[in-house]
Amino acid sequence: MSLDDCAEALREHDPDRFGICLLAPAEARPRLLTLYALNLELARAPLASTEPLIAEMRLQWWIERLEDIGAGKVQSHELLTPLAEAWGPRAAGFPVLAEARRRDAAREPLDGPEAVAAYVRDTAVPLARFAAEAMGWEAAGGFAPPDPRGVFGKRRKPDVAEVVDAQAEGVGLAHWLAALPALQGLGLGLWDASPEVLAGIAGKARAKLAEARAQRRFVPRRLAPVLFAGAGVRAALRAAPRGIEALAGAAPSEFRRRLALGAFALTHRWWI
């Protein structure tokens, strides 16, 4: 899989992130394309078999290959080769993206809003941090652990990582809701998919998005593409309290996706 193959896979199966890659600076694209293509493969891996043991073995294979890249072992693989070229030893951190998918191998539904939020924090948030690194944030200081108090006890300004995390969790929750009709059929949705539970998940998403929006002035402009929410977030959050049937009809059209991407390209407004 060359970079062009990564782009084609994203264009077909993850169009929002494909659009993000198009808007990223040229020097960041190899890292973003391979990162998002890896995320796509890891999301698919536990769904390749209905047998939990086989599904987990597929994930374990990816974990071991990523560890090999981190150790400097040469890879001969359509995705892992360009990934190693783009990320080098930093790919040693990527197994966290695969570990978060282990529960998918068991095909067990989640138990309410808190469980969904925890799942999204384990999957979407690390991905967003790696994407921010791809945009050059690591070189500018990276994600240092936040200091809870400023000088002389004054309230500190938010760490960029907190804003990235909040936006990633809010967007991730909305995307999870949008995917719920399909997830239910795979056994990866909710034990209780009542409108009340869906409204609770949407409420958590709105709170995180509001948290990120309130702190947007602390985020460097160069990170805007990887914080862009895409076209479907508002529709999913509006539909959720009406139930799973409403979510099934809330997917944005290709026209709306392109319109949202075009508007973002002009304004760099990632917050909603």
Instruction: Quote the pLDDT of residue 101.
Output: 93
Find out whether 168 and 226 touch, Cβ atoms under 8 Å. no
Give the span between the Cα atoms of 257 and 247, in whole angstroms.
17
Instruction: Quote the pLDDT of residue 85.
Output: 94
Give the span between the Cα atoms of 25 and 226, in whole angstroms.
12
Question: What mean pLDDT comes out for the span 224-244?
Answer: 96
Instruction: Quote the pLDDT of residue 153.
Output: 46
Question: What mean pLDDT comes out for the span 253-257?
Answer: 92
Token pair, residue 192, equals 């209780």
Question: What mean pLDDT comes out for the span 229-241?
Answer: 95
What's the pLDDT band for 145 if we cut at 50, 70, 90?
very low
Q: Which of 164, 159, 166 is nearest to 117 (CA)?
A: 166
- Look at residue 116 and tell me whether its pLDDT is greater than 80: yes
Instruction: Quote the pLDDT of residue 155.
Output: 52
Find out whether 180 and 244 touch, Cβ atoms under 8 Å. yes
Specify the 3-state DSSP secondary structure of 190: strand
| Greater model confidence, 219 or 143 | 219
String of DSSP letters for 100-120: TTHHHHTT--B-SHHHHHHHH
Instruction: Quote the pLDDT of residue 1.
Output: 62
Q: Which of 84, 79, 83, 88 is nearest to 5 (CA)?
A: 79
Question: What mean pLDDT comes out for the span 243-260?
Answer: 94
Cβ within 8 Å of residue 159, ≥6 positions away? 143, 144, 146, 147
Q: What is the pLDDT of residues 85-103, one digit of tens each?
A: 999 999 999 999 999 899 9
Give the span between the Cα atoms of 100 and 121, in whole angstroms.
9
Global pTM value: 0.91
Instruction: Quote the pLDDT of residue 268.
Output: 94
Q: What is the pLDDT of residues 53-75, one digit of tens each?
A: 999 999 999 999 999 998 888 77
Find out whether 36 and 134 touch, Cβ atoms under 8 Å. no
Instruction: Quote the pLDDT of residue 246.
Output: 97
What's the pLDDT band for 142 if we cut at 50, 70, 90?
low
Find out whether 184 and 176 touch, Cβ atoms under 8 Å. no
